[in-house]
Amino acid sequence: MDNQAQALETEVKETENLRILIADDNDSDRLILQTIVRKEGHTVYTARDGQEAIDIFKEQSPDIVLLDALMPNVDGFEAARTIKELAGDNLVPIIFLTSLRDATSLADCLAAGGLDFLSKPYNRIILQAKIKAFASMRRLHETVQAQRDEISLHHDRLVHEQEVAKQVFDNIAHPGCIDAPNIKYLLSPMAVFNGDLVLASRKPSGGMFVFLGDFTGHGLPAAIGAMPVSEIFYGMAQKGFSLQDILREINKKLKRILPVGVFCCASMVDLSFRKHSAEVWVGGIPDVLVYRKKTHELENLKSRHLPLGVVDSDRFNTDTTIIQLEKGDRIMLWSDGIIEACNAEEEMFGEERVMEVLLSTSDPDAMFDALVTAVERHTGRDEQDDDYTMVEVTMVGEEEMGNSYGADGKSYLAGGPKDWSMTYELRPLTLKEFNPLPLITHLLMEVPGLRPHSGKIYTILSELYSNALEHGVLDLHSELKASADGFARYYAERTQKLNALEQGCVRFHIDHHPVEDGGVLTIVVEDTGPGFDFKSKEESPHKTDGYSGRGIPLINTMCRSVRYLGKGNQVEVIFDWHVDV
C-alpha cells in the first residue's frame, strides 16, 4: 500500500458516521446545517421545535444533538434538560445553535446541559471540528463507562467468589468441637482470610485436640493453607492418630504445597481428661500460657519449634512439653494479633499487659472476657473489625465433657466394626504379586479406638506373615541370614522360590472382640509349610530364645500370648488393647 492510499484509508477511518439531531425552527438555517452535516458523512434527523426534538431523541437516540436556543413551543433550554434526563448515564453532547451573545444567555445554555455553542452564520470548518471533538469525547465516555461496568462486574464476581470461598472454608475448616463446655474462643467470622485458624476435635479415646494456626499473609493466599490443615487435622484426629503424627503430616503437606515465605505459626494441645495431663507443641507463635488455679500463677510454654511448612519432614521436630493439670487449670493459645494490637499511638498491647490483665482478674472464669475487654479498650475498636484469635481450654473431669464431640465427632464407642472375625486365604498367584499387610491393617484400623496401636499391630502382622511365607510356604531357613553372604543368598532363593511357586497358601484368621475400654484381637496365621518342632523350644527356660530369626521375642513383648499350634505351621497371637487416653 502506498502512502497516499494509506493516508486516504486513515482519513476514512477518522470520519466516523454519527447520527446527529438538528433542531431549528428556522427552515433556511436548518437546511444549511443539515446539508453541511450530511456532507460530512453523518446521518441527520431534523426537528422544527423542542418537542419534536425530544420525540425524535426518544425514537432514535442520536449521538450528538444540535439545538437552537430559541424555538416555539418547547424551547432549546427545556429540550436540553429533558434530553439530558432521557440520556441518563450516557453522554449525549448537546451543542447550542445560537446567535445570542450576552453572557447570561450563554450561561443559560450551559446550565441546561449544553456543552458548547455554534453561532450563526455557520462555519463549516468550525462545525466539523466541534462534531469531531464531541464524537471523541463521547467515545471516551463510552470507554470509561464500559470500564466502570467491567470493574463493577469484576468486583461483584470477586465478592461472590469470596463468599463461595468462605463457605467452602467454613465447611472444611470448621472449628469442630470448639463449642465444648471447657473451651472459650475469640475468632472473627472472616478470620480465615486473616490467616487465622482454630480447630478442635475430640479424640476417639475421649481426649481432645486443640489447634491454633496463624498463616503468614492475608486474604486468599493466607486462607488457602487452612483447607489441607483442617482436612488432615480432623481426618487424623478422628482416626486416632497421635499429636505427633498429625503435626508431622500437616508440616509435610504445607512444606510441599505452600510457596516459600508462606507458613503456619501454630500451637497444638492434646488434652487427656482421664490422666489430667496435656501435651503441648508450640511452633513460631506467642507463648502458650498455663494458668494454675490453685496458686493463681501463669507458666509460659515458649515456642521451641519452627512454624509448620518450613522444614522438611526429616528435620521436623515433634518434641512436646507434657504438663500435669488439675481441674480448673487453663491453657491459653493465641495468634500474635492480640499482642500486636495497636492503639491510636501505634503502641502494641504486648505480652506484659496480657499477663497483667490475667493475673489481676481474681475469678478465673472471668479472665478470658477481661482480656478481650482490655484489648478492645486499648485499640478503641470493637471486636467486629479485629484480627485476633484466642482460645482458652480448661481442664475438667471426663464426666463434665459428656457428649461434646462436635457436629461430626463421635465417641470412641460409637460406630465402626467392633465384634467380628474373618479368614483371608492367599494363594500362590496372590502371594507372588500382592502384599496383604496394608489391606489387613486398614481393615483393623476401622475398629474404633484401635488406631493408636497400629504400629504394634503392623509389626505383629508383618513378622507373622513373613514367617508364614518364607519359612512356611517357601521353606527358607533363617540360619542362612546369619552371614552377609548368606543374606544375599537368602533373598535370591526367596525370589526364585516365589517365582516358581505353584501350590501352598497363607491363611489369616482374625478375630476382634470388644471389652470395656478396649478389645481383644486374636490373629492366627497358618501356612501350608512343613511346620517345625516348637514343643522342644517351648520347654527351654528362656521361652522365646529358640525362635531367633522369627521375630517372636519382639512380638512377645507386645501382647498377651504367642502360641504355636498344630505341627508348628500355625501361630496364634492374642493382643489386648485399651483406649489410649
Contact flags string 224-253 toward another protein, x per CB under 8 A: ------------------------------
Contact indicator for 250, 243 with CB cutoff of 8 Å: no
Collect all residues with Cβ–Cβ distance below 8 Å to 27 and sequence separation of at least 6.
none
Nearest distance from residue 25's CB to another protein, in Å? 7
Query: Three-state secondary structure along 411-433?
Result: CCCCCCCCCEEEEEEECHHHHHH
CA-wise closest residue to 355 among 283, 285, 297, 294:
297
Q: Which of 6, 15, 17, 35 binds another protein (CB under 8 A)?
A: 35
Nearest distance from residue 88's CB to another protein, in Å? 32
Q: Which of 29, 351, 517, 572 binds another protein (CB under 8 A)?
A: 29
The alpha helices in 175-242, defined as continuous H runs, are 191-194, 219-224, 226-239
The secondary structure of residue 305, as a DSSP letter, is B
What count of other Cβ atoms lies within 10 Å of the Cβ of residue 221? 15
Nearest distance from residue 100's CB to another protein, in Å? 8
Distance CA 279, CA 396 (A): 15
| b/e map 231-261, b = 16+ CB within 10 Å | ebbbebbbbbbbbbbbbbbbbbbbbeebeee
CA R_g for the chain: 42
How many residues at the interface with another protein, by CB under 8 A? 17
Nearest distance from residue 61's CB to another protein, in Å? 27
Q: Which is nearer to another protein, 120 or 132 (CB)?
A: 120
Helix (H, G, I), strand (E, B) or coil at 342: strand
Show contacts with another protein in window 300-359 (CB under 8 A): none
Q: Which is nearer to another protein, 6 or 123 (CB)?
A: 123
Contact indicator for 239, 249 with CB cutoff of 8 Å: no
Q: Which is nearer to another protein, 70 or 348 (CB)?
A: 70
Q: Does 32 bind another protein (CB under 8 A)?
A: yes
Cell, residue 381: 475498636
- Tell me which stretch binds another protein (CB under 8 A): 29-37, 195-203, 344-352, 570-578: 29-37
Q: Which is nearer to another protein, 114 or 546 (CB)?
A: 114
Q: Which is nearer to another protein, 25 or 470 (CB)?
A: 25
Nearest distance from residue 161's CB to another protein, in Å? 59
* β-bridge pairing 297-301 and 288-292: antiparallel
Show contacts with another protein in window 83-122 (CB under 8 A): 99-100, 120-122
Show contacts with another protein in window 520-549 (CB under 8 A): none
**What type of residue sits at position 103?**
A
Nearest distance from residue 45's CB to another protein, in Å? 17
Distance CA 144, CA 195 (A): 36
Nearest distance from residue 98's CB to another protein, in Å? 8
Distance CA 84, CA 179 (A): 59
Contact indicator for 361, 370 with CB cutoff of 8 Å: yes
Q: Which is nearer to another protein, 69 or 308 (CB)?
A: 69
Q: Does 27 bind another protein (CB under 8 A)?
A: yes
Nearest distance from residue 123's CB to another protein, in Å? 9
Query: Three-state secondary structure along 62-89?
Result: CCEEEEECCCCCCCHHHHHHHHHHHHCC
Nearest distance from residue 40's CB to another protein, in Å? 11
> Hunting for cell 516365589 — which residue is that?
498
- Tell me which stretch binds another protein (CB under 8 A): 31-39, 181-189, 262-270, 570-578: 31-39
Q: Which of 70, 137, 165, 443 binds another protein (CB under 8 A)?
A: 70
Nearest distance from residue 89's CB to another protein, in Å? 34
Q: Does 78 bind another protein (CB under 8 A)?
A: no
Nearest distance from residue 63's CB to another protein, in Å? 22
Q: Which is nearer to another protein, 31 or 159 (CB)?
A: 31
Terminal CA-CA length for the chain: 88
Q: Which is nearer to another protein, 71 or 222 (CB)?
A: 71
Q: Which is nearer to another protein, 95 or 278 (CB)?
A: 95
Nearest distance from residue 36's CB to another protein, in Å? 6
Show contacts with another protein in window 406-425 (CB under 8 A): none
Q: Which is nearer to another protein, 75 or 287 (CB)?
A: 75
Q: Which of 7, 8, 12, 31 binds another protein (CB under 8 A)?
A: 31
Q: Which is nearer to another protein, 31 or 322 (CB)?
A: 31
DSSP string, 1-57: --HHHHHHHHHHHHS---EEEEE-S-HHHHHHHHHHHHHTT-EEEEESSHHHHHHHH
Distance CA 237, CA 201 (A): 7
- Tell me which stretch binds another protein (CB under 8 A): 22-30, 210-218, 233-241, 477-485: 22-30
Show contacts with another protein in window 124-183 (CB under 8 A): 124
Q: Residue 329 belongs to what H/E stretch?
A: none
Residue ranges in contact with another protein by CB under 8 A: 25-29, 31-32, 35-36, 39, 70, 99-100, 120-122, 124
